Amino acid sequence: MPQTGPKRTPKAPRQELPLRDPQSRTQGCGEVSLGFTLKQAQMEARRCLDCKDPKCIEACPLHIDIKSFIARMIEGDFEGALERISEQNPFPGVCGRVCQCELYCEKACLLGRKLKPVAVGALERFAADYASQCGNGLHAEPNGRKVALVGSGPASLIAAYDLVRKGYQVTIFEALHELGGVLAYGIPPFRLPREILRQEIDRLRAMGVEFCNNFIVGKTASLDELFEEGYSAVFVGTGAGLPHLMKIPGENLIGVYTANEFLTRLNLMRAYDFPHSGTPVRVGKRTLVVGGGNSAMDAARWARRLGSETTILFRRGRAELRARLEEIDRAEEEGVHFEFLAAPVRLLGDETGAVREMECIRMRLGEPDETGRPSPIPIPGSEYRVPVDTVVAAIGQSPNPTLQRATPQLITNRGKIVIDDRGQTSLPRVFAGGDVVRGGSTVILAMRDGRAAAEAIDRALQEGR
């Protein structure tokens, strides 16, 4: 007799993530999205069409076996589901919360052609939260070789996971005192609780990965010195943490921040708890955040939590916003206003040097530019002023330059490290990936790069290159 599992119900409505109500959210930094209940997770899992040729797996940069982890969830086997995910992705709790799934698996979901796609990210998160962490103890025999990974963002974390499973002794060198890269200093705890990040990093530690914090490669030690210490290869995953400036008059006024500084002060230095934390952040009655990506949403939502009337100023239209769709919705629910088709021209201050007004100009959209998005064109004579006490510029980042400056032989292009199709830089046995190669990107693409680099390192060392 053929086995029949629980019925699939693809026409059922997509389950909505339970959320804390917007009013109470802005009172603190507890997690906003509460995650599916058990019943919801199973109902959502049953929406999966169980495609013969599932496009979602191909579309996921890590090729997680989405079809079979969902099948296990339908059977109620959550540990099995987590095991399937962990074969490809050791950070399901993180990715289930922050992956921009609408660009990858959920975009490819067949169900999405007529109805809403299966909520793959939310199911991944449920599996991670519900099932006990299974440790994925696929430990390999030590092969006696050491690999150094520079930076502790998602690119290096997954490279460490893959390398340690191949028997390498792995050390991650991180400039900051906290591990996780943007996951720690950029993404706020109300989107990614730090205990989730810590748990998933602790799994790596338990597998034998060593972490060396407060260590800047290019200052504390050079790449050459790492090789002298006995490392056979190095992976550079130093990210894109150098903020772009608006380059307008008044940018140095008090109360004007880059998103990078603003978010680091809050997420990492706990400026919201000043004076206990020792690090202040100046947020007045009215905050303007310039930009339309994830950093802009995160900064604006923090400003709301600090009691400020907050507006996001974006030079293109709503359709061009680059943030995760979910975060745009959350920001709006929390009272963040949006001003589209406008850009800052200059900032004006008072006699104390504090910002008081922003002069803006209206824009219209023209032909697509090199990014493929319609180019914003200023409308002459449309300038207007708005009162403001805090300004956050969230208009993009470039790669962190320290290591590149200290290593002039490393070929770069506009600050981004250049790699060949094996992920190798211009230096032998030095590989790179993630935002330092791509510029600002996404967590899952950084992880795909880290995985590819781990493969390439293994191949190069095996072949004695």
- For binding to ligand FAD (CB under 6 A), which residues are involved? 98-100, 150-156, 173-176, 181-182, 186-187, 216-218, 237-239, 241, 263, 294-295, 298, 324, 400, 402-403, 434-436, 441-444, 446
In this complex, which beta carbon is closest to ligand FAD, that of residue 176 or of residue 269?
A: 176
Smallest separation (angstroms) from ligand FAD to the CB of 99: 5
Smallest separation (angstroms) from ligand FAD to the CB of 456: 16
In this complex, which beta carbon is closest to ligand FAD, that of residue 304 or of residue 324?
A: 324
CA dihedral 428, 433, 439, 442 (to 10 degrees): 180
Smallest separation (angstroms) from ligand FAD to the CB of 55: 20
In this complex, which beta carbon is closest to ligand FAD, that of residue 165 or of residue 324?
A: 324
Smallest separation (angstroms) from ligand FAD to the CB of 203: 17
Smallest separation (angstroms) from ligand FAD to the CB of 181: 2
In this complex, which beta carbon is closest to ligand FAD, that of residue 96 or of residue 154?
A: 154
In this complex, which beta carbon is closest to ligand FAD, that of residue 119 or of residue 363?
A: 119
| Three-state secondary structure string covering the chain | CCCCCCCCCCCCCCCCCCECCHHHHCCCCCCCECCCCHHHHHHHHCCCCCCCCCHHHHHCCCCCCHHHHHHHHHCCCHHHHHHHHHHHCCCHHHHHHHCCHHHCHHHHCHHHHCCCCCCHHHHHHHHHHHCCCCCCCCCCCCCCCEEEEECCCHHHHHHHHHHHHCCCEEEEECCCCCCCCHHHHCCCCCCCCHHHHHHHHHHHHHCCCEEECCCCECCCECHHHHHHCCEEEEEECCCCCEECCCCCCCCCCECEEEHHHHHHHHHHCCHHHCCCCCCCCCCCCEEEEECCCHHHHHHHHHHHHCCCEEEEEECCCHHHCCCCHHHHHHHHHCCCEEEECEEEEEEEECCCCEEEEEEEEEEEEEEECCCCCEEEEECCCCCEEEECCEEEECCCEECCCHHHHHCCCCCEECCEECCCCCCECCCCCEEECCHHHHCCCCHHHHHHHHHHHHHHHHHHHHCCC
In this complex, which beta carbon is closest to ligand FAD, that of residue 59 or of residue 98?
A: 98
Whole-angstrom distance, CA of residue 77 vs CA of residue 84: 11
Q: Parallel, antiparallel, or unpaired: how do β-strands 242-243 and 397-398 relate?
A: antiparallel
In degrees and rounded to multiples of 5, residue 68 shows phi and psi of -80, -25
Smallest separation (angstroms) from ligand FAD to the CB of 51: 25
Using the Cα atoms of residue 355, residue 357, residue 361 and residue 362 in order, give the sign of their dihedral: positive
Smallest separation (angstroms) from ligand FAD to the CB of 406: 8
Smallest separation (angstroms) from ligand FAD to the CB of 382: 30
Smallest separation (angstroms) from ligand FAD to the CB of 83: 24
User: How many Å is the maximal CA-CA distance in the chain?
Assistant: 84
Query: Angle 54-322-22 (CA atoms, 0-180°, nearest 5)?
Result: 95
Q: Is the peptide bond before 275 cis (omega within 30 degrees of 0)?
A: yes
Smallest separation (angstroms) from ligand FAD to the CB of 156: 6
In this complex, which beta carbon is closest to ligand FAD, that of residue 204 or of residue 360?
A: 204
In this complex, which beta carbon is closest to ligand FAD, that of residue 80 or of residue 181?
A: 181
In this complex, which beta carbon is closest to ligand FAD, that of residue 191 or of residue 315?
A: 191
In this complex, which beta carbon is closest to ligand FAD, that of residue 234 or of residue 360?
A: 234
Smallest separation (angstroms) from ligand FAD to the CB of 402: 4
Smallest separation (angstroms) from ligand FAD to the CB of 433: 7
* Count of C-beta atoms within a 10 Å radius of residue 219: 12
Say which residues have a Cβ less than 8 Å from residue 456's Cβ, sequence separation at least 6: 422, 423, 424, 431
In this complex, which beta carbon is closest to ligand FAD, that of residue 198 or of residue 346?
A: 198
In this complex, which beta carbon is closest to ligand FAD, that of residue 326 or of residue 389?
A: 326
